[in-house]
Amino acid sequence: MAFTIAIDGPAAAGKGTVSRAVAAHFGFAHLDTGLLYRAVGARMLAGIEPVEAARTLRAEDLEDDALRTPEVAQAASKVAAIGAVRAALVDFQRAFARRAGGAVLDGRDIGTVICPEAEAKLFVTASAEVRAERRHRELTDKGVQTDFATVLADVRERDARDMSRADAPLRAAEDAVEIDTSHMDIDTAVATAIAAVETAVKEKTE
């Protein structure tokens, strides 16, 4: 049986960690769709035209550790605003979503565009300041030299671009359960997400 869990939200809200935990809890496959755009962004930085990069993307392109750099994150946000890039990646995501055994997809337009019929939808968010603090700590731990003000500006810039783009802007689906992790530890956020999915499962099977 196919069961799709769509988890959306802005950068550094915790949706990736929540998504992986939810997938593990239910025994579902997981796809971080942001990696698709990061991989396209990385290939663009390497000189490949964005649409061509999306059309020729390979599964192994998603395994590069360099996809987690701030430069690639900004490139990913830029290529994600290109309609032809998004179109090239839609079929891959939808096929993954309806695979047998269940799937969790996290991104920015899963519940609104990619899988509007998903059985469960979550929108994981947090304040820009909290997300910037998390990202700054993550970068510092990796030895990246930056300051909080720069990271906060980057977070706000990316939010503005993701929310204002004409094609598939970042927003919560009308029927998504919103989880604000600003004042939650990760265990609480995961437990809240699992409870929301269990409620959706119960409603779908009654």
pLDDT tens per residue, range 84-113 = 999 999 988 998 999 999 999 999 999 999
Mean pLDDT of 122-131: 98
Residue 71 located in a structural domain:
yes
**Is 70 exceeded by the pLDDT of residue 193?**
yes
pLDDT digits (tens, 9 = 90+) for 57-84: 888 888 888 898 889 988 998 998 899 9
Domain of 65, CATH number, reads: 3.40.50.300
Q: What is the pLDDT of residue 186?
A: 94
* Tally of CA atoms within 13 A in the half-sphere of 101 that contains its CB: 8
The whole-number pLDDT of residue 38 equals 94
Handedness of CA 32, 58, 44, 89 (dihedral sign): negative
Contact 8, 173 (CB under 8 A): yes
Q: Minimum mean pLDDT among 6-20, 69-83, 122-136: which range?
A: 69-83
How many structural domains is the chain composed of?
1
Cα separation, 23 vs 190, in Å, equals 11
* Domain enclosing residue 18, as ranges: 4-197
Give me 133's structure tokens: 């603090």
Contact, 15 vs 9, CB < 8 A? yes
User: Does 205 reside within a domain?
Assistant: no
User: pTM of the prediction?
Assistant: 0.86
Q: Is pLDDT at 206 greater than 80 in this prediction?
A: no
* Residue 206 forms part of a structural domain: no
**SS3 at position 162:** helix
Res 115 pLDDT > 90:
yes
